[in-house]
Amino acid sequence: MKDILEKLEARREEARLGGGEKRIAAQHAKGKLTARERIELLLDENSFEEFDMFVQHRSTEFGMEKSKIPGDGVVTGWGKVNGRVVFVFAKDFTVFGGSLSEAHAEKITKIQDMALKMRAPIIGLYDAGGARIQEGVAALAGYAEVFKRNVIASGVIPQISVIMGPCAGGDVYSPAMTDFIFMVRDTSYMFVTGPDVVKTVTNETVTAEELGGASIHAVKSSVADGAYDNDVECLLQIRRLIDFLPSSNESGVPEWPSYDDPDRVEPSLDTLVPENANKPYDMKELILKVVDEADFFEISEKFAQNIVTGFGRVEGRTVGVVANQPMVLAGVLDSDASRKAARFVRFCNAFEIPILTFEDVPGFLPGTAQEYGGLIKHGAKLLFAYSQCTVPLVTVITRKAYGGAYDVMASKHIGADINYAWPTAQIAVMGAKGAVEIIFRKDIGDKDKIEARTREYEDRFLSPFAAAERGYIDEVIRPRSTRRRIARALDMLRAKQVEMPWKKHDNLPL
């Protein structure tokens, strides 16, 4: 028996080495951790249970039968993050460059199936070179099996992709169908075709970073939801994100102990909004002062910064936060902001996460660039997303709520449950100057008359009371009591139930 156990340990040790010491050293030289080191950092200590350590590819083409390494380029299994079960797979770049074979894909789909059965999150750590060319269509079929399971699991369990190295071809499509994608700056790349192919086909000369680095996908394309400086920081932030997310669409939001009094008042909020309506202020200050212990996990922080999305907690329970940011483009809604917020709202609704909306929006961004870029359809995505929500919706209007953007940002009319306004709120079709110049265009030459009409319009409509008189606003509240009001509203809404008509699925304006 002793000999057998020694052989077992020797085989395990061989599998743990992946591509060997030389390749592990090369991985470290690039500033990257190995697949197993990443899993150790991601999961609670000693909680990882590995599956399929000894699986090998079955290819006999192009001399592949002479080169077999246990594990076949991916480490799979399950473990815990702060005591909660998660499933994980990590591509091992030291083994065949992490390329996907038929056997490699079977390891991943096995974990996907288990995660779905157990209704637990799945996290993929990517560091790979695409399909294993020597296996041809078998590798492509393996990718398709993974893709199909991504779609089946969507909206059922959280799926998180972490890009920690090169990621090309089929390895970018699976992450694209997951809920969140995070990247590591300077060491991770995502592209359908690499720089060499781009050069051949289009004659463009471009670096990997310029084509698909974190600086592109987290800022310009919105493919990635965030980027971090190194593997360690990235994995620690993923652990933090998991703490905000439900295990499945039926498990309810996690509830952690909170030492932050839900009745806490913030006198500084009474002076957050400047007297000058055209002067910006930082909406993140309000968010941090409302959520528990100023703990806010922002999603897509560097993309479409005129809207803020992310997760916080109120009384220890997760809430999704959507907020216009007056510091960027005056908080206006444009195509990018609408897409960003719509996807976030749909995620929250799928996983029964209440949504808290802070509104200060002067409208939709005008101009040919926006119209040619499909602003109407992108804006409709956000409207559609909020309108189909069945989760608790609490909205606070801090200042401007103009035009159609007022309707879109979780107004009472499209299904919000509780709508509060600060005394500084301005709810109207448009700003006073523009409105007066349309209504009283014949008086435009008379400066005194126009000024008088402007004051009249401001007194009547640029306040929360016209909306409150009609019941569109449930209460005009003092800014300092915002946290207390939100906490009470969310507590009351815990048992919310909404019946929606049966449909096979909706037809979101994509």
The C-alpha atoms of residue 457 and residue 401 are separated, in whole angstroms, by 15
pLDDT at 109: 96
What is the average pLDDT across 371-394? 95
Q: Does 452 have pLDDT greater than 90?
A: no
Backbone angles phi, psi at 89, to 5 degrees: -135, 145
Looking at residue 194, what is its pLDDT? 83
Contacting residues for 127 by C-beta, under 8 A, at least 6 apart: 32, 35, 90, 91, 92, 93, 98, 163, 164, 165, 166, 167, 188
Question: Of residues 374, 404, 415, 434, which has the active-site annotation?
Answer: 404
pLDDT tens profile 241-271 = 999 999 999 999 999 999 999 999 999 999 9
Segment 44-50 shows an average pLDDT of 95
Determine the 3-state secondary structure of 80 from DSSP. Answer: strand
Tens digit of each residue's pLDDT (9 = 90 or more) over 311-336: 999 999 999 999 999 999 999 999 99
| Catalytic option among 19, 77, 130, 170 | 170
pTM (two decimals): 0.93
Using CA atoms, how far apart are residues 85 and 398, in angstroms rounded to an integer?
Answer: 40
**Is pLDDT of 399 > 70?**
yes
Q: pLDDT tens across 404-438, in order? A: 999 999 999 999 999 999 999 988 876 666 666 67
| pLDDT greater than 70 at residue 57 | no
pLDDT, one tens digit per residue, over 109-129 is 999 999 999 999 999 999 987
170 part of the active site: yes
Taking 70 as the threshold, does the pLDDT of residue 168 lie above it? yes
Whether 83 sits among the annotated catalytic residues: the reply is: no
Report whether pLDDT(17) > 80.
Answer: no
Average pLDDT of the residues of the chain: 90
**Active-site option among 169, 194, 331, 379:** 169
Ranges of beta strands (E only) in 269-345 are 297-299, 307-314, 317-324
Query: Would the pLDDT of 441 be above 80?
Result: no
pLDDT grade for 387, boundaries at 50, 70 and 90: very high
* Catalytic residue check, 77: no
Is the CB of residue 349 less than 8 Å from the CB of residue 249? no
| Residue in this structure with the two tokens 């009249």, named with its chain if needed | 456
- Is residue 42 predicted with pLDDT exceeding 90? yes
| pLDDT value of position 437 | 66
Q: For residue 285, how far is the Cα from the chain centroid?
A: 20
What percentage of the chain has pLDDT greater than the value 90?
Answer: 67
Q: Note the pLDDT of residue 208.
A: 87
Name the band, by pLDDT with cuts 50, 70 and 90, for residue 282: very high
- Output DSSP code: residue 61: G
The CA distance from 198 to 219, in Å, is: 21
Residue-wise pLDDT for 75-85, tens only, equals 999 999 999 99
pLDDT higher at 25 or 159: 159
In one-letter notation, the amino acid at residue 462 is L
Q: Show Cβ contacts of residue 133 under 8 Å, excluding neighbours closer than 6 positions.
A: 99, 139
Q: Which of 405, 416, 428, 489 is catalytic?
A: 405
pLDDT tens, position by position, 284-305: 999 999 999 999 999 999 999 9
What is the DSSP code (8-state) at residue 365? P
Strands 297-299, 189-191: pairing kind: unpaired
DSSP letters along 347-363, please?
HHHHTT--EEEEEEE--
Q: How far is CA 80 from CA 42, 454, 496, in A?
A: 9, 61, 31
User: What's the rounded Cα separation, in Å, for the pair 309 and 213?
Assistant: 22
Does residue 380 carry a catalytic annotation? no
**Residue pLDDT, tens place only, 174-189:** 999 999 999 999 999 9
